[in-house]
Structure 1
C-alpha cells in the first residue's frame, strides 16, 4: 500500500472567468462533479496538481453536504467554510484504498468510504476514482482525504503528460494549534517522517509546520518559477527558480 502526494484544492468564486496571474500556471478544464454541484480546472505539475474548484449549484452541494456519504467531502468543505476563497484541502493517493481503510481502522479511526466518484470531461469522457475520508470529530481542521484513481499511474501519465509543466510544488506550509499532536497523527496515520520541522510523504512536497491560533493551510511554494510571492483569491503562492 503506497501513499503519495496527489493534489491541493483552491476554491475560487466565479472560476469560469479566472485566469492565473501573468499565466504563471497553465489551467486546464477539468469537468463537473454532477452529484456535488461543483466543477474544476486543473494545473498539473506531474501526476500531482492544483485543483481550482467552484460551485455551479449550491443547492446540490448543500444537499450532498447533509448526506452521510458526502458530509466530509471536499465539496462539503466549501459549505462548512462559508464559501471563502483560498486553500481548502489536501489529498493523497494510494494504490490500495481498501488496505488504507483497514489501516485507519486499525489506528482506532472511523472512516467514510471508499466511495466511487466520477466526473465528465468536456469531451464526454468519464474519469473515475474512489475516495476515503477520516471521520474524527476531535479534529478542528479539514483533514486530508485519500484517492485511488481508476487508472494506474502509467496509463494516467500517458493520458496527462502533455499538460505537465516544468514546475513542482516543493513545500506546503500548515498552521496548527497543537504541533506535537499533529506530527504524531501524521506519523501514525500516514506513515510520514518528521525532520527539521517538516513532515515528509514519499514523492511529494515537504509540509512545514507552524504553531499558531488556527488550523489552516497557509501557503504553497513552487519551484521552476522566478517571481515574487502572490496572494491570489485568498491563497498565498511562493515561487523560486
Structure 2
C-alpha cells in the first residue's frame, strides 16, 4: 500500500474570471463535480497538483454536506463559511481498501471508499474512489484519500502536456496540539518526523507550527524566482 501527496485545494470565489498573478502558474479547466455542485481548474507539476475550486450550485453543495458527502472537500467549504484560501490536503494510494483496513486497525471510523466522477470539457469522464477519516475529536479538516481509476503510468501519459517544470517542496501547517498532530500522522499515515517536519515519501515536507488554529498556512513551490504572494486568502512561497 503506497501513500503519496496528490493535491491541495484552494477555494476561490469567482474562479471563472481568475488568473494566477504574473501568470506564475498555468491553470487548466478541470470539470464539474455534478454530485457536489463544484467545479475546478487544475495546475499540475507532475501527477500532483493544486486544485482551484469554486461552487456552481450552493444549494446542491449544502445538501451534499448533510448526507454521505458530509466529510467531502465540498462540504469543507460550507463548514468554513466559504472563506477563500487553502482548504484540504489529499493523498493518493494504490490500494484504498487496504488503506481503509489500516485506518480501522488504528481505531478510526471511516466513510468510503465511495465512487466519484467528473466530466471534463471534452466530455471524457474521470473516475476515482475517495476515503475519509470520520474523527470528531479534532477541529482540523483532515486529509482525505484518493485512488484514481487509472494507473499512475496511464495518467502520466495523459497529463504530461500539462506538467510544469515546478515542484511543491513544502507545506506549512498550523496546529493547536503539535504533539497530538505528530502522533496522528505517524500512526495513521506512517509519516516520519524529523527536525519539526513530517515526511511522507515522494512528496513535499510538512513543516509544523503551533498556534491558535488548525490550518494550512502556506505552500512553497520550487522552480520560480519570485517573492511570496497571497492569492485569495492563500499564501504562496517560491524558490528558484
User: Which TM-score applies when normalising by structure 1?
Assistant: 0.99
Q: Distance in 1 between matches of 2:127 and 2:138?
A: 29
The aligned counterpart of 1:145 is 144
Residue pairs, 1:151-190, within 5 angstroms: 151-190=150-189
Q: What CA distance in whole angstroms lies between the structure 2 residues aligned with 1:130 and 1:143?
A: 17
Paired with 2:226 and 2:45, the residues of 1 have a C-alpha distance of 17
Distance 2:81 2:124 in 1: 32
Aligned-residue offset at 1:139: 1.0
Moved over 4 A (4+): none
Deviation at 1:213, TM superposition (A): 0.5
Please give the secondary structure, in 1, of the residue aligned with 2:77: helix
CA distance in 2, matches of 1:92, 1:150: 15
- SS of equivalent to 1:62: helix
| Aligned match of 1:70 | 69
Give unpaired runs (5+ residues) of structure 1. Answer: none
> CA–CA distance in 1 between the matches of 2:30 and 2:233?
21
> For the residues of structure 2 that align with 1:201 and 1:6, how far apart are their CA atoms?
11
Distance in 1 (CA, whole Å) between partners of 2:106 and 2:17 is 44
* Separation (CA, whole Å) in 2 of partners of 1:200 and 1:152: 24
| 3-state secondary structure, aligned to 1:99 | helix
In 2: Cα distance, 1:200 partner to 1:182 partner: 13
How many residues matched? Answer: 240
How far apart are residue 5 of structure 1 and its match? 0.7
Return the offset for 1:166. Answer: 0.5
The 3-state SS of whatever aligns with 1:208 is strand
For residues 5 and 90 of structure 1, the distance between their equivalents in structure 2, rounded to whole angstroms, comes to: 8
Q: Partners of 2:17 and 2:167 in 1: how far apart?
A: 25
Aligned equivalent of 1:205: 204
Q: Is the partner of 1:185 in helix, strand or coil?
A: helix
For residue 156 of structure 1, report the CA deviation from its aligned partner: 0.2
**Deviations for 1:205-240, whole angstroms, at most 9, x for unmatched residues?**
000000000000000000000000000000000001
Structure 2: stretches of 5+ with no match in the other structure: none
Query: How far apart are the structure 1 equivalents of 2:143 and 2:26?
Result: 25
Q: Which residue of the partner structure matches residue 110 of structure 2?
A: 111
RMSD over aligned CA atoms reads 0.3
What is the aligned partner in structure 2 of residue 42 from structure 1?
A: 42
Residues 91-136 of structure 1: CA distance to partner in whole angstroms, max 9, x if unpaired? 0000000000000000000000000000000000000000000000
| Aligned-partner Cα distance in 1 for 2:202–2:42 | 19
- Deviations along 1:176-228, one digit per CA (max 9) or x if unpaired, are 00000000100000000001100001110000000000000000000000000
For residues 33 and 139 of structure 2, what CA distance do their matches in structure 1 show? 26
Superposed displacement of residue 3, structure 1: 0.3
